[in-house]
Amino acid sequence: MSGKGNPGLVAALTVAATLGGLLFGYDTAVISGVTDAITHNFVLPRHLAENQANILSGLAISMALLGCVIGAGVAGPLSTKIGRKGGLIIAGVLFFLSSLGAAYPEFFWSIFGGTGYHALPAFVGYRLLAGMAIGMASMLAPMYIAEVAPPASRGMLVTFQQIAIVVGITLVYFVNWAIQTGHTRDYLMTTAWRHMLASAAIPAALLIIFMTMVPETPRFLVLKDRDAEALGLLKRLVGESEAQSTLQQIKGTLVEHTRPVLSFGWLVLIVGIMLSIFQQVVGINAVLYYAPHMFENMGASTTQALWDSAIYSGVTMTVFTLIATFTVDRIGRKPLLVAGALIMAVAMIFLGILFDRHLAAATAGQAGGSAGSSYIALGAVVVYILGFSFSWGPVVWVMLSEIFPNSIRGKAMSIAVAAQWIMNFVVSTTFPIMDGNSYLNAQFNHGFAYWVYGACAVLAALFVIRFVPETKGRPLESIQELWHPGGSDARLVSPPAAGQ
């Protein structure tokens, strides 16, 4: 047995867990190709008033985000009760069932007379299940990776989760484009939307298969008093020479097995929650969800807009997330978060100015028409995605997987990830409100939302500088010392401010 462990095994376990991230991205973005079909099949036949129809369409399309909150909330207790591996298997089953169910909601619902547009309750229910699976995977996959990874490479390996997410997003853009290409709109409304949703069942099946083949994490095994199994696994992961000492460190931090979530004070929980909130309020999902509309405004067809979204948004996210993979354990977490926040702030503020001046001038018929302004706006969006992709996209998941002490990790991470999905829902629903407000448009010409996101990015940078500790290279068992030196003592005190 090598004294340095088995890097191949660590890599294999990481790849297996990142299938949860791939499904996270895939199932989140697949809805972008079927929004018109949902309205066409489930809403328009009801002949509702315009406002009622819009509300119903919005609920049907966004229901997965509410499911994400539920999934993230239950993932923590589930990870403590049945394990990280078991939780990911359950998430895979929910992914599989919800993908096929949303594609063919009439299959079971027809027993109750729910065919055609009457199958909307079943569709909404399946999308809620999909969201629960996304919420569970968004927490459990990085937790699993962090708990099997050696400290020196933990940051790099956890960023694979974000790579898998953006690969899933990019992949589904191309899948939706391929399904739509060469067919009429009628075919898209009747058949193609089903194929798009059902396609997620393939990676879901792979997640189930792969997770049945991997072991539980050493920390969960110790949590359940399975020390011999934990020691055997640690010997394979970190080597004979470090296995015993690592086991003792784990046991030392889990001496009480689990503690109340506030055992280490408020600061650690607030930092986790605020990292999640800032990851969303910088506006990433508003930018990604509405990027196709920008391409359409530039004159592209719907099919071409999906292709352009895959190329400009998806590929940019993938490439620059890879940069984070190779820098997060060298440069550190804090420098990447601060740099990314400042780049996003500049891009968003510039985009707000561009809407306020250049697009207003184009609307008034002045020189510098809309085409040139649109391409400049596209460049600002790409810079923004670049800034997010090497920093707040992957690094927040690294931080959430490692900043919480062992004895509260499941509960605390569940709360932080639930907060992230709540803010995802808030940002996704408030963007069209801000962008469609006549008073704000009279003052800022559709630029107000981008000013807001830019300001939030500045606040995110300031928050990281003041409150977020650097965790690069620290064993998970020493993380609690950042919040309370000598944290294994049962008499806990308030944690020091970051940096002390």
**What CATH number should be reported for the domain holding residue 423?**
1.20.1250.20
Does residue 290 form part of some domain? Answer: yes
User: How many domains does the chain fold into?
Assistant: 2
Q: Within 13 A of 316's CA, how many CA atoms are on the CB side?
A: 19
Q: 27 is written with which tokens?
A: 């199932």
Of the residues 193, 214, 235, which one is the last residue of a structural domain? 214
Amino acid at the residue 293: H
Tally the C-alpha atoms within 13 A of residue 354's C-alpha that lie toward its C-beta: 21
Is 246 within a domain? Answer: no
Beta strand extents in 25-75 (DSSP E only):
none
Distances (CA, A) of 218 to 50, 147, 155, 315: 55, 7, 18, 35
**Helix 84-103, helix 7-29: angle, nearest 10:** 30
Concatenating the DSSP letter of every residue in 373-394 gives: HHHHHHHHHHHHHHHHHTTHHH
Q: Count each helix (H run) and each strand (E run) in the chain, helices first.
A: 25, 0
Closest CA to 319 of 387, 380, 256: 387
Largest Cα–Cα distance in the chain? 75
Same domain, 187 and 53: yes
Q: List the alpha helices (DSSP H) in 110-199.
A: 120-148, 151-180, 185-187, 193-198
Same structural domain for residues 155 and 282?
no
| Domain annotation covers residue 236 | no
Q: Are residues 205 and 267 in the same domain?
A: no
Query: Is 406 a member of any domain?
Result: yes
- Determine the structural domain holding residue 163 and report its residue range: 1-214
Q: Does residue 181 sit in the same domain as residue 282?
A: no
Q: Which residues contact 352 (CB under 8 A, 6 or more apart)?
A: 444, 447, 448, 449, 450, 451, 454
Where is the domain boundary, 196, 214, 232? 214
pLDDT in tens, the chain (500 residues): 445 667 888 888 888 888 888 988 888 788 877 877 888 888 888 888 866 777 787 778 778 888 888 888 888 888 888 989 999 999 999 999 999 999 999 887 776 666 788 889 999 999 999 999 988 988 888 888 888 887 777 777 777 877 888 889 888 888 988 888 888 778 888 889 999 999 999 999 999 999 999 999 888 888 888 888 888 888 888 878 788 888 887 777 665 455 677 767 788 889 999 999 999 999 887 776 666 555 554 455 556 666 666 677 777 777 887 787 777 778 888 999 999 999 999 999 888 887 766 554 544 454 444 555 566 777 888 899 889 988 898 888 888 878 887 777 777 888 888 888 888 888 877 776 676 667 777 776 767 888 999 999 999 999 999 988 887 777 666 666 767 644 433 333 333 333 33
Among 185, 214, 243, which residue terminates a domain? Answer: 214
